[in-house]
């Protein structure tokens, strides 16, 4: 992890982030997007983040290799939900299981702490043992399951709802 670099998403990162995300679209049910995203679509998505808001996207690199990314988005579009965010984490398969998801989430929570976020939510397609383990290790609690809420690859999938109470002192162990 000595070559680890974490930074806010920039235009230079969009191509790699899109390539990684498209792998998740085509190979897993961990995102309910079905059609791969174009560069322009991902660029529009990237423009929704700013380091001066609770809605941020961070990327991690090992040298020049993209490890993955983490993001916080509005939990829902209505104004009363301003103190809650939905988080997502995507790690390249070559880096899964090495603690990078935890490092990225930890850094994200440090960066959004000053914006008054009280709750973070993660929606995890079941089964996804690695993601559930990651979120549990960060203090997320499973608070419910949406049963057969999405259909992908000719199968209906359940989604676990995980909640984290913030703020917490985010220190890596």
Q: What is the pLDDT of residues 11-54, one digit of tens each?
A: 999 999 999 999 999 999 999 999 999 999 999 999 999 999 99
Tokens 């997502």 found at: 88
- What is the distance between the alpha carbons of residues 52 and 54, in angstroms, rounded to a whole number? 7
- Cross-strand pairs, 62: 4, 65
Mean pLDDT of the chain: 94
Which conformational region is residue 138 in: left (phi greater than 0), alpha (psi within -120 to 50 degrees), or beta?
Answer: alpha
Question: pLDDT-derived band of residue 167, with 50, 70 and 90 as boundaries?
Answer: confident
Cβ-based neighbours of 97, under 8 Å, separated by 6 or more: 130
Mean pLDDT of the 68-89 span: 95
User: Taking a C-beta distance cutoff of 8 angstroms, is the pair 137, 128 a contact?
Assistant: no
For residue 26, how many C-alpha atoms fall within 13 Å in the half-sphere facing its CB?
Answer: 8
**What three-state secondary structure class fits 12?**
helix
pLDDT at residue 172 tops 60: no
User: Taking a C-beta distance cutoff of 8 angstroms, is the pair 97, 109 a contact?
Assistant: no
- What is the distance between the alpha carbons of residues 48 and 89, in angstroms, rounded to a whole number? 17
Per DSSP bridges, beta strands 155-165 and 119-126 are antiparallel
What is the model's pTM? 0.93
């Amino acid at each position: 992890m000595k070559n680890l670099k974490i930074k806010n998403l920039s235009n230079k990162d969009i191509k790699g982030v899109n390539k990684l995300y498209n792998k998740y679209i085509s190979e897993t049910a961990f995102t309910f997007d079905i059609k791969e995203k174009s560069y322009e679509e991902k660029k529009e998505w990237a423009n929704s983040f700013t380091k001066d808001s609770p809605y941020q996207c961070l990327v991690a690199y090992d040298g020049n290799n993209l490890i993955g990314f983490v993001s916080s988005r509005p939990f829902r579009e209505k104004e009363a939900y301003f103190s809650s965010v939905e988080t997502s984490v995507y790690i390249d398969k070559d880096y899964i299981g090495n603690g990078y998801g935890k490092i990225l989430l930890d850094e994200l929570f440090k960066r959004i702490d000053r914006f008054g976020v009280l709750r973070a939510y993660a929606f995890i397609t079941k089964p996804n043992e690695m993601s559930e383990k990651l979120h549990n290790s960060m203090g997320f609690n499973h608070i419910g399951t949406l049963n057969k809420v999405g259909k992908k690859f000719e199968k209906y999938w359940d989604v676990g709802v995980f909640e984290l109470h913030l703020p917490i002192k985010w220190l890596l162990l």
